[in-house]
Each structure stands twice: as C-alpha cells, then as structure tokens.
Structure 1
Amino acid sequence: MRMIQNALSGAIAAQAALNTVSQNLSNEMTPGYSRQGVLLSTLVPGAGDRLGAGMGVDVTAIRRFSDSYKNLQMWQAAAGQGELAAAQPYFAQLEQVMGSDGTSLSGGLDKFYSALNAASVEPSSVPLRQQVISEADALARRFNNLNGVFATQQASLNEQRTATLAQINTITQSIAALNGKVAEADAVGTNASGLLDERDRQIDALAALVDVRVSQQPDGSLSVTLRGGQPLVIGNAAATLAAQGNVNGTQTMTLQFAKERFTLPNDNLGGQLGGLNQYQSAVLQPMTDAVRTLAGELAMRTNTQLASGFDLNGQAGAALFAFDAASASGMLQVTAIQAEQLGFSSDPAKPANSDNLLALIAIKDQTIAMAGLGNVTISDAYAQLTGHLAIDSQQNKAGLETASVVRGEAEKNWKSTSGVNSDEEAINLVEFQKMYQANMKVIAVANQLFDSTLAIF
C-alpha cells in the first residue's frame, strides 16, 4: 500500500535525522566540530498518478553548517593574535633588563662620570684615578651584559623560528593529505564532514603560525598560500619551509614547492613567524646596533681625548677602552691601563692640571647620530632607547589585548553558525522522535486496514 511506503520513507528520514542529532550532541564539546543537519525533500508522484499525493520523503543530504566567510575571519584573527603574542615575551624580557638599575647603562654612565668629576678635584690622586678605572670597568660589564642579552634573544628567535617552520611543514602535509581524502569521499558520495572539520582545524592552527590565504577548488580541496602568493598546499602536495643561518646570526627562510624554490621575505608574513621576524628586524637588531654605536662612540671619544692629554709621568695618556663590535661577550673592555697613565692633564709639566679631564667629562654632552633617534647626547642616548622600547612594548601589549578580543569575537561568530546548541538539538530530538513515532503509527494503521480488507474475503 502507498501508505506503508510513505510512512516507511518518513520513518527512515526521521531515523537519519535522529542519528544526526545524536552525532551533534555527542560532539558538543569537540573543538572545531561543525554541527550537521538533514536536508529533506518530498518525493513527487510518478507520471499519470493523478490521485497520488506523493511517494513519501527522501533525505537529500547531510548538511554541514559552515560559513567560509566566518572561517576566514577566525583564521585572520588567529594570525593577528599569533603575530603579537610571539613578540610579547621578548619585549617583556628586554624592557625588564634595560630598565633595571643593576643593568641600566644610564646608571653606569652616571657613576663613570661621577668618578671623573670626583677626580677633577684632585687630578693627581691615585685612588681617585683608580676609581675612574673601576667605574669604567663596571660600565663595560654593563655594556657586555646587555649585548649578551641581545645575543641570547637572537639565538632564541632562531630556535623558535626553526621550530615554527617545522610545525608549519607538519601541518601543511596534514592539510594536503586531508585534501586527498576529501576528494576521494566526494567522488564516492561519502559524508566528509569529519574530514572537513579536521582540515579547518589544521588551517586554523596554521594561521596562528603564519598568515595564509585559502581558496576552494572544484574537487573539494583547498589551496593554501602565503600573503605573497607563495604556495603552501595545492591539492595533495605540500611545500617545505627551511631556515639557513647567516654570518650575522640571522636566518634566511626558503620555501620549496615541487621544483620551485622561493626566498621568503622577513616581513609581511603574519602569524607567529611574522611576529618573530618583525621583532628581530624592527626592535632587536636596531637596539643592538644602537647600543654598539653608543659603546663604540664612547670608547673612541674617550680614548682620543685621553691621548691628547698627559699622565702623571708627563707621557701621552693611554687608551682606557678597547671596543670590538664582533664580540658577543666582550664588546667593550677596559685595557690594562694603570691609574698613573690616565691623561688628565693638558700640560706634561703639570700633572695636577685638570683641563683635559674637564674636556673628558664634557664628552657626555656631545651628540652622536643614532638610527631611529637622530642626534642625541651620549648621556641621553640610553634613556631615549629605553623610552622607545617601552612605547613599542606597550603598543604590542595593547595590540595583543585587542587581537585577543577580536579572536574571541570571531570564535563566537563561528559558533553561531557551526557550533552545537544543546537546547536546539534537544528540541530537534523531540520533534524527530515524534515524526518517527507518527510514521510508525501510520504503518500500524495501514496494516490494520490491510488485515480488514483480507477479512472481507
């Protein structure tokens, strides 16, 4: 009977819907799970069936609720958050070191020039001269300690960048493999929702590491590229990223896809990788160069001024500092100078003369050219460097807080479409249960009518 056929199709459709609801509820807490739902369509009567109401109902497909635009918003938010989060620990460490009284170059410079001022009262005093050498040595250690922090951060950046590239390679290979599985599932008509969810999760993880552009292909696969268009995943093929060390301690990144090799820029990458590169190029390297410039200028001007004066023996003053920009641990050193060899006097016959010593003290008010700061005095250079770092650090911190809010809103927006709503699923559970029971009731009624018809005969 037609009734039984219709009711049977309805019961099968209700059962499919109940299976879908149960899948949604069981994955309510699964990260990245996109809820599913059944698409139902009526089966129309055949040709010439003038009195037929229809042939029942059919489950056209199991629909996965996903919005590509909301996915894109979430991935871009992940890239922005990852970029700022990667740099924040380095900002915090460097700001703490440069602002500490025990490691501040401003404190060391003040003590060094205070010792010179004290010596100007009695230029021939050996103990006062020795104090100048001691403070010069303490200042040099401050320079070297700070330069060591720069070198440590550079090494840490290189290690973290190498680890990030390895993560990117692992994820892109996983996305490429999932592309192949999705294409196979689509070809044989299998529900690929689970594969699509996993692929979206992998892309989200990838976006936190490097900003990507994603495009849908006709076979169901996704193509993933960098901002600059360099391919990461095309179909079931994935690129390989690597880093090569340079002489100056930095790294050059390359991307190998098939037979093509690309050299990646250090900027405009986004994500954690972009954040590491941005901190290195815009903060760490300029700061390192500035401190080396300050150390070099201080050493050169101090030594030049001392050489123009005379020591206690009437000889030309010896050099106080030795500067080596290439040394990570001993960039600035105090020479083996003796207290008597400091050329404080401008007259070889008057060792107690302090004219050259006063000129030496005046060096702190001389200007030097520093990248990013312009012309600044030696005594003020470090304070300005610390101030610029504090501003950059605060901007990064504020940007990270904003990016975290944007990411949270993007996740909420995604959940409004793809997330499982337990209340909504509970309603669907009841409604489809009623649908199933109603159709089974129709089958029971149809059987009774059939039995009654048989009884007549």
Structure 2
Amino acid sequence: MSIFAIGLSGLRAAQSGLFATSGNISNVGTPGYNRELVQLSENRAAGVLVNGVERQFNQFVATRLNAASGSLASFEAYHTQVKQIDNLLSDERAGLAPAMQEFFKAIGQVNSNPADPAARAGVMGTAGTLTAQFRSFDNYLNDIERNIGNEITYEVNSINSLNTQIASLNKEILLARSGGTEAPNSLLNQRDQLVHELSQKMDVRVYEQSSGSYSVSMSNGLPLVAGDKTYELEAQTDQADPTRLAIVYTNATGQPIQLRENVFSRGSLGGLLEFRSESLDTLRNQLGQMVAVFASAMNEQHQQGVDLNQDPGQAMFSMGSPLTYSHSANTGDATATTTITDATALLATDFDVQLGPDGYQVTRLDNGKTVPATFDAATNTLSFAGVEVSFAGGAVAEGDRFKVRPLVNQAKNFELELEDGSQFAAAQSNASGDNSNSLALQELQNQLLVEGKGTFNQAYGSMVSTLGNQINVVQANMAAQQGLTEQLYALQQSESGVNLDEEAANLIRYQQYYQANAKVIETGSTILDTILSLR
C-alpha cells in the first residue's frame, strides 16, 4: 500500500466534498434543488473510495408534498374566483335587494294616489333600474365565465408544456445513465421540480420505472407521460353544451375522450372547474330563478288590471328563454325546445335529460339527483320541475341526451315592457281612485313564490347565504391545507434543503480534510527523500 496513493485518494475525496458543498451553497435559493452529499467507503487497497454524489431526495415526502400543494392550489384558484362575486354582492350600490325594495316602495306611492303621474313615473324609473341591475349582474357573471374559459385553456396548455419537458428529461436521464457516469442529479432535480409544478395544475400519479424513467398519469389512470412519449389534453367545446369548454384527452390511437370534471380534483385547473360548476352555475341559476318567478308573477297580476287609459294591463316585463342543447354524440335526429310552464315550480339548476330503455330520465346537474318527470307521447313532450321539453324534427334514439338550462338566460333579457307611467295597471275597474291591482302587485313581495317556500327577498338572501357558506368552507379548507403544506415543506427541507450553517461547517471540514491529506503526501515525500539521501 502506497502512502502516496492513500493521500491522493483522500485529496480526491476532499475535493469531491468541496465541490458538493460549494454546489449546495450556490443553489441555496434554486427551486427544486436537493442537497447533495458525497458517499465515501473504505478502499483497502489505497485509502478511501468516492462512490458518488447522492442527492438527498425522499420520494414519499415529495409525493405527499405534491398532493398537498395541488389541493392548496385548487382552493386558492377557487377562492380567487369566488371572491369576485362576493365583492359584487356585498356592494350596496350594485345589490339587487335594495333595487327591488325601491321598486315595491314606488308601487306603494301609486297606492296612495293611483292617478299621480309622478308616482307612476317613480314605478317606471325604479322598474328600469331593477331590470338594469339584474342585467348588469348577469353580464358580470357572464364575463367571469368567459374568463374562466380563457384560464382553463391557459392551464391546459401549461400542463401539456410540463408533460413535454418531463418526457424530454426522461430521455436525457436515460442517456446519461447509459454512459455509466455519475447520477445526473441536476436532471433529476429538474424533473422532480416539473412534477411538482404539474401537481399544482392537476391531480397526477407518478411512478418510477426500473430504468429510472417517470410515468405520469391522471387520477383515472390515463397516461400523460410514458418514457419520452406524451399524451395531450385540449380545451374543446363541451359535447353537452356548446357555450362552454371541457377537457379532452387524446389517447394512443388518436381518439379524443372528453374527461369528467371530477378527474381534476386537485390543482388550479380543478379549482377553476369546481368553481364554475359549484358556484358560478349555481349563482346564475338562482339569479335566473328570481327573474323568472318575479317577472311571471308581476306579468300575471298586471294583466288582471286596467291602466290609466282604461286599457287592459299588458305584460310588464320580458325575460329570456330557456336553452336546450343536444349532445354531440346523439344518434337520433330530434331537436328539443324548452318552455317554462310554472315559474313557482322552477328549481335553481340545469338538467340532463336522457332516453333510457325504461323511458326518459331527468337528472339535476347540481346534485345528481333524479327528478320526477312525465312524458306525453301524444304531444311528444316531457314535463318536470315547472318546464316542458318538446321533441320535434325526428326521433329520439335510446341513449340520446339533452342539456336543459331553463334559467341561465333569464336575466340577460330582463326588460321593462311598459313605455310610460300611464300604462301601469293600478286599477281592476274603471272607478276613479281604484288601486286594487296596485295593492295586489305590492303584495307579491310577501308571497312565497320561489319554489313555493320563499319570497323574493328570501330568495336573494338564500343566494347571498349560499355564496357566503361556500366562501367560508373554501377559506377553512385553504387554511388547513396551507398548514399541512407548510409542515410537509418543512419536512422536505429538513432532509433535502440546504442549511448554510451546516454547509459552512462542511466547507471547513473538507478544507481541513484536504490539507491533512496533502500533509500525508508531503510526509511521504519527506520520508522518500530521507531514504534516498541515505545512499
């Protein structure tokens, strides 16, 4: 055994330690960097052996951290969107309840003097303000939905980009390892950081193959990355609703598959989809329900009266029409049209109508519950929840589906039909001073017209309360998830993170180690010189 070989092996080990420590220090702020340690073992032939530089990475902790970060990103995306609506509802100037109260207050002024032009003008003015407030609120919600579509497209494109980068790194890592060199720690860190970023976008499962390559799949098992191959997602028009986007997966044969929203239970994409289906759709339907019930009740009562010109009362308000969409996969050629038959029976939800082997089945899209329905073969109409769906233009094939949205379009076209105050039908006879119809119109605010169990103010309060509860739940979940994520991050950093104090100590230790081994070589050289001088 040579003293020079021993000293030289120690120099190399010390140098490797200095390189690793220096790399740790320089990457202290690098996202995704994992601390590196030199692995040494005894070399009986000549001192110490450097087995390599190992990164301190715990796959189990990383997987838990990715899952927690994905859930947190979902809650944050949901919270960001829902707060926009809460800010509008909490704005007293833009609130719908004050506008409705002013309208009924103006009708009360007419009750005091039915022929007063100023009082009648007050009804017209407050009615115009009321309809404008509803349209403005609906337009705001429509803008949010349009922005959600843009954000969904952006998130999908980001996911595809991350998948492509992971697949590229899979290939690079395999090539690096096939060369028999040291583990490509830098490439491994980059790939794990990309997986972390992907987990913040959507719920994924990651499996490491025996070759060291990552396979990434969705929660339903469909692969996104397999070796150096990727499978793309795309934001496309929903098969059931052409007004919104859905996520489509292209499989190995090139066949597009529209994915269910519950596949994206985590990540920012999941938060956007959950907000759209749970909060935005619910609020738009509640808003449309208020308009439909209010306008129908006011029109029905107003048409029972007589205006100042002794003409029969006309419809006071107009509103939007229900929307019905045929599923793009339908094999039958029938089209469907929906009309509202009983506004007081309307439910604040959309519906899925499907023809099965036992007849039509109607399902609420907000909670998945089945709704009782009656089909009239003579008129080819299906009746349920205050609406009637008529099928025409051909036959409905078994398995055909239709999406029915009775309420989403109501507020958009909510308009005052009367042109001046003289058309307000305050009376029910030609008698001077008759205000009986005006009194009946004012009394509508106290009747349980919304689903037969709530007044207009109560319905609005329920809308605000539902949104408030959703905000409270998501805030509580977000706070809990934030705490869990921070704990897991601290656990991950305790093992994989760089501690500058520890690295500074290692730097001194490896420096002394280097100097000591240099002294060994120097001592060996001195001994050799002494021996040679004896000759």
With structure 2 as the length reference, what TM-score do the two structures score?
0.79
Match in the other structure for 1:215: 207
CA offset at residue 443 of structure 1?
2.1
CA offset at residue 16 of structure 1?
1.5
Residues 389-410 of structure 1: CA deviation (Å, up to 9, x unaligned): 1221233233333333332222
Q: Which amino acid aligns with 1:416?
A: S
SS at match of 1:209: coil
Query: What is the CA–CA distance in structure 1 between the aligned matches of 2:307 and 2:432, rounded to whole Å?
Result: 6
Structure 1 runs (4+) deviating above 6 angstroms are none
CA offset at residue 329 of structure 1?
8.0
Match in the other structure for 2:257: 262
Q: Which amino acid aligns with 2:146?
A: A
Match in the other structure for 1:93: 84
1:375 counterpart = 2:453: yes
Residues 54-75 of structure 1: CA deviation (Å, up to 9, x unaligned): 4322111211111112211221
Query: Which stretch shows the higher mean deviation, 182-191 or 301-310?
Result: 182-191
Residue of structure 2 aligned with 1:439, choices 511, 517, 530: 517
Aligned CA distance change for structure 1 residues 358 and 132 (closer, same or farther; 3 Å): same
Match in the other structure for 2:474: 396
The gaps in structure 2 that reach 5 residues or longer are 323-408
1:334 counterpart = 2:416: yes
Query: What is the CA–CA distance in structure 2 between the aligned matches of 1:106 and 1:447, rounded to whole Å?
Result: 95
Residue of structure 1 aligned with 2:282, choices 286, 293, 318: 286
Q: Which amino acid aligns with 1:267?
A: N
- CA RMSD for the aligned pairs? 2.0
Asked if 2 retains the 8 angstrom alpha-carbon contact of 1:213 and 1:227, the reply is yes
CA offset at residue 351 of structure 1?
4.8
Query: Which stretch shows the higher mean deviation, 159-168 or 434-443?
Result: 434-443
CA offset at residue 445 of structure 1?
2.4
Q: Which has the higher helix share?
A: 1
Match in the other structure for 1:203: 195
Asked if 2 retains the 8 angstrom alpha-carbon contact of 1:78 and 1:208, the reply is yes
Query: Which stretch shows the higher mean deviation, 360-369 or 213-222?
Result: 360-369
SS at match of 1:367: coil
Residue of structure 2 aligned with 1:111, choices 94, 102, 111: 102
Aligned CA distance change for structure 1 residues 328 and 178 (closer, same or farther; 3 Å): farther
> Computing the radius of gyration over CA atoms, which structure comes out larger, 1 or 2?
1
CA offset at residue 369 of structure 1?
4.2
CA offset at residue 268 of structure 1?
4.5
Query: What is the CA–CA distance in structure 2 between the aligned matches of 1:121 and 1:29, rounded to whole Å?
Result: 75
Query: Which stretch shows the higher mean deviation, 136-145 or 27-36?
Result: 27-36
Aligned CA distance change for structure 1 residues 173 and 328 (closer, same or farther; 3 Å): farther
SS at match of 1:375: coil
Residue of structure 2 aligned with 1:307, choices 303, 307, 321: 303
Query: What is the CA–CA distance in structure 1 between the aligned matches of 2:410 and 2:10, rounded to whole Å?
Result: 78
Q: Which amino acid aligns with 1:221?
A: S
SS at match of 1:124: coil
CA offset at residue 291 of structure 1?
0.5
Asked if 2 retains the 8 angstrom alpha-carbon contact of 1:65 and 1:417, the reply is yes
Query: What is the CA–CA distance in structure 2 between the aligned matches of 1:330 and 1:291, rounded to whole Å?
Result: 10
Identity %: 27
SS at match of 2:92: coil
Match in the other structure for 2:161: 170
Query: Which stretch shows the higher mean deviation, 1-10 or 131-140?
Result: 1-10
1:140 counterpart = 2:131: yes
Query: What is the CA–CA distance in structure 1 between the aligned matches of 2:193 and 2:208, rounded to whole Å?
Result: 16
Match in the other structure for 2:14: 14
Query: What is the CA–CA distance in structure 1 between the aligned matches of 2:196 and 2:416, rounded to whole Å?
Result: 53
CA offset at residue 344 of structure 1?
2.1
Residue of structure 2 aligned with 1:235, choices 203, 227, 236: 227
CA offset at residue 424 of structure 1?
1.5
Residue of structure 2 aligned with 1:244, choices 225, 236, 241: 236
SS at match of 1:318: coil
- How many residues are matched? 444
Residues 228-253 of structure 1: CA deviation (Å, up to 9, x unaligned): 22222111112211111345532111
Query: Which stretch shows the higher mean deviation, 232-241 or 430-439?
Result: 430-439
Aligned CA distance change for structure 1 residues 104 and 39 (closer, same or farther; 3 Å): same
SS at match of 2:200: helix
Q: Which amino acid aligns with 2:252?
A: A
Asked if 2 retains the 8 angstrom alpha-carbon contact of 1:253 and 1:263, the reply is yes
Residues 352-391 of structure 1: CA deviation (Å, up to 9, x unaligned): 2222222211211222446xxx832122211221122122
Asked if 2 retains the 8 angstrom alpha-carbon contact of 1:311 and 1:351, the reply is no
Query: What is the CA–CA distance in structure 2 between the aligned matches of 1:313 and 1:141, rounded to whole Å?
Result: 27
1:413 counterpart = 2:491: yes
Query: What is the CA–CA distance in structure 2 between the aligned matches of 1:249 and 1:393, rounded to whole Å?
Result: 26
Asked if 2 retains the 8 angstrom alpha-carbon contact of 1:151 and 1:328, the reply is no
Asked if 1 retains the 8 angstrom alpha-carbon contact of 2:5 and 2:46, the reply is yes
SS at match of 1:133: helix
Q: Which amino acid aligns with 2:249?
A: L
